[in-house]
Amino acid sequence: MLLEGVLAQGTSPWSAALAGAGGAIAALLAGYLLIRWMWRTKLVAARSQADKVLIDARAEAEVVFKKAEVDAKAEYLRGQEQLKVEGDALRAEMREHEKRLAKREDNLEAKLDTLVTKEKNLEQAIKKLTSRTDEVAQREQEAEALLAQRRELLLKTSGLTVDEARRTILEELRHEVDRDAAVLVEKAMNTAKEEAFQRSREIVLTAIQRYAGEHTCESTVSTVDIPNDEMKGRVIGREGRNIRAFEKSTGVDVIVDDTPGVVLVSAFDPVRREIARRSLERLIQDGRIHPGRIEELVEQVQKEVEEELFETGKKAALEASVGGLHRKQLDLLGRLRYRTSYGQNVLRHSIEVAFLCQSIADELGLDGRLARRCGFLHDIGKAIDHEVEGSHQKIGADFCKRFNERPEVLNAIEGHHGDIPSISPYTPIVMAADAISASRPGGRRESLERYVQRLQQLEEIAKVHHGVKEAFAIQAGREIRVIVDAKRVDDASAAAIAHDVAKKIEEQMTYPGEIKVTVLREVRAVATAK
């Protein structure tokens, strides 16, 4: 109102300025009041919000506190329960421990009683032993006195001095010792002669078996059928020129006897015998028999047989799954088709050993292919052991060495009979497979006479030992059972007899596979009630 009055009185410049300042002040005052009112409103709202948050926080804190209090009580209860369980377990364990301690205490008391009893018995035994010792000492003194008396009596009776009597006794002892020594020397010489004879016979038999099987006639002779006696005469020829030319070309013996319709071809070399048999059959079929035709036909058959041997060796290597063999190795393997050992075909035996070696090697986690190669080539030397000096193991190893065979293969070939030490596990594998193939039922044949002799030899080897009552060879000679006298042989001696019998069988006999030695010691108590 004052401002309006001033404005109404006059509108000077100062008045206008004063009016503008007043308006500004009024505006500022109004703005201040407005801002203050707004801040008061916000402060009231904030305080209201803070009170609400505080109330909520207190309520939530009260809930959390109550929940914590409940959880604490539950945890406390669980702790008390667990402590109770552990306390019960601990008390049970303590009771068990107390029981064990009580039991041990009882045992200790029992042992203490036993020890006290034994100590008393020992004291009594010591007293008895002391008394016995004194008694023995007294008797020794009596015996010495009695011996001195008899010595004096003997010296008086014989009229000899002590030195003379000593010399006489020593002389008699020397004669007795010389006599016993002579008996022992004679017995040793007789034993040595018997062993030398047995050993020499075995060496001769082994040498014969290198050239032929058990049945020499079946292994070294082939028969050729002749249609009639006229053809037999033509085979012989004028003054025997045809048969001489045939024997010269083939290297065999032709036996022409009175047997009708048969001519025998004999030779230890099975390949030459086969060549001669085929050549003679073709000559008979051809009918043109003269020295020129004989040489021509024999040469032709020889080439055919050699090619057939190579094919046979190749087929055998393919069957045994052994590759990388040289042609000369295949030729020798083919020759094994006509070679037998105790009636067993050596080529089939080699194939069988190859498969056995692979099976054993696979079971042991070794190289089955290498084991199969070792088994397949182990008897390759038998193809030429009658032509080259030495054992078939050494011959085969030297032959395969020329074709860069691996050392494991060479060692298996040369050592499969235990002649040299083994340098790899494949050598004992071949030894085991060779024994399995040779000893299986039907693998090899043996004449009845030879079979009976082997059984008798087994029993004789066992019967020569001290304390042996009976010896029986059973299971076709695969086992020998030795019955000993229980009064003369104890358990330790029985084991020694079994070892000694097995050792002598290995040294004195030749046999396929293994022979089991069983020593039986039986104690019999017999009483008669009357």
Q: Could you report the per-residue pLDDT of 288-336, keeping only the tens digit for each?
A: 778 788 888 888 888 888 888 889 888 988 988 888 888 888 888 888 8
Tokens at 391, concatenated = 């054992």
Asked if the model's pLDDT at residue 13 lies above 70, the reply is no
Q: What is the pLDDT of residue 374?
A: 92
Q: What is the pLDDT of residues 394-437, one digit of tens each?
A: 899 999 999 889 999 999 998 888 888 889 899 988 988 888 77
Instruction: Look at 241 and 411; give whichever has higher pLDDT.
Output: 411
Asked if the model's pLDDT at residue 4 lies above 60, the reply is no
CATH superfamily of 448-522: K homology (KH) domain (3.30.300.20)
Q: What is the pLDDT of residue 212?
A: 34
Which bin fits 161, alpha (ψ -120 to 50), beta or left (φ > 0)? beta
Average pLDDT over residues 167-172: 75
Contacts 24+ apart (CB under 8 A), 175-183: none
Tokens at 506, concatenated = 């290995």
| Cβ pair 406, 397 in contact under 8 A | no
Q: What is the pLDDT of residues 326-359, one digit of tens each?
A: 888 888 888 888 887 766 788 888 888 888 888 8
Q: What is the pLDDT of residue 159?
A: 63
Q: What is the pLDDT of residue 215?
A: 35
Average pLDDT over residues 74-91: 87
Query: What share of the chain in percent tops pLDDT 90?
Result: 4
Average pLDDT over residues 269-275: 80
Helix, strand, coil percentages, rounded to 5, for the chain: 75, 5, 20
Rg (the chain; Cα; Å): 57
Asked if the model's pLDDT at residue 187 lies above 80, the reply is no
Average pLDDT over residues 368-379: 90
Query: What share of the chain in percent tops pLDDT 70?
Result: 86
Confidence class for position 283, pLDDT limits 50, 70, 90: confident
Asked if the model's pLDDT at residue 3 lies above 60, the reply is no
Instruction: Look at 371 and 419; give whichever has higher pLDDT.
Output: 371
Q: What is the pLDDT of residue 299?
A: 85
Average pLDDT over residues 154-162: 65
How far apart, in whole angstroms, are the C-alpha atoms of residue 25 and residue 241? 169
Query: DSSP letter string over 490-518?
Result: -HHHHHHHHHHHHHHHHHH---SS--EEE
For strands 344-345 and 253-255, give the pairing.
unpaired
Which DSSP letter does residue 382 get? Answer: G
Fold of 320-445: Hypothetical protein af1432 (1.10.3210)
Q: What is the pLDDT of residues 436-480, one digit of tens each?
A: 777 655 555 554 566 677 788 888 888 888 888 888 888 767 788
Other C-beta atoms closer than 10 Å to the C-beta of 330 total: 19
Asked if the model's pLDDT at residue 90 lies above 50, the reply is yes
Whole-prediction pTM: 0.44
How far apart, in whole angstroms, are the C-alpha atoms of residue 127 and residue 135? 12
Q: What is the pLDDT of residues 478-526, one digit of tens each?
A: 788 898 888 888 887 888 888 888 888 888 887 766 788 898 887 777 7
Q: What is the pLDDT of residue 105?
A: 87
